[in-house]
Amino acid sequence: MEEHQAVSEIHEEEAHERHHHPDDNSIYIGKKDVMGYVLAAVTQFNRGSAEVSIKARGKAISRAVDVAEIVRNRFVPGAKVKGIAIKTEDLQSEDGKMVKVSAIEIILAR
């Protein structure tokens, strides 16, 4: 269990540093406040993106769902959930062991 938690925390720290790529319509959910990710998604829509992809792993999955729902219900009422993909990713922990981590991608579209 500790290995899974360590990998999840590693991913969330990486996602925190790169939660939005200006050339991409993906938002990577990490440890920041939910409203920061909501702002990034709304900004993408306001810049003309037809779709925004919200991605998360491990413990951040529930935060990704929160972001998608807040965007849809409060800020971009015309946005719909175009798709949801779930998977398991193999990641290497700090001690070199391979561990499985759940991941989600939620695609919102106007």
- Report the percent of the chain where pLDDT is more than 70: 79
d(C-alpha 25, C-alpha 45), whole Å: 9
Residue 49 has a pLDDT of 96
Q: Which structure tokens are listed for 62?
A: 């529930």
- CATH of residue 55's domain is 3.30.110.20
How far is 55 from 85, CA to CA, in rounded Å? 9
> How far is Cα 83 from Cα 65, in angstroms, rounded to an integer?
12
Structural domains counted in the chain? 1
Reported as a single tens digit per residue, the pLDDT across 6-56 is: 444 444 444 444 455 555 899 999 999 999 999 999 999 999 999 999 999
Residue 83: its pLDDT value, please? 98
Give the domain extent around 33.
2-109
Confidence bin at 107 (pLDDT 50/70/90): very high
Average pLDDT over residues 78-95: 96
List Cβ<8 Å contacts ≥24 apart for 44-47. 44/20, 45/71, 45/76, 45/79, 45/110
**Both tokens of residue 92?**
């290497």
State the pTM of this model. Answer: 0.79
| Mean pLDDT score of the chain | 86
50 to 72, 100, 104: CA distances (angstroms): 14, 32, 20
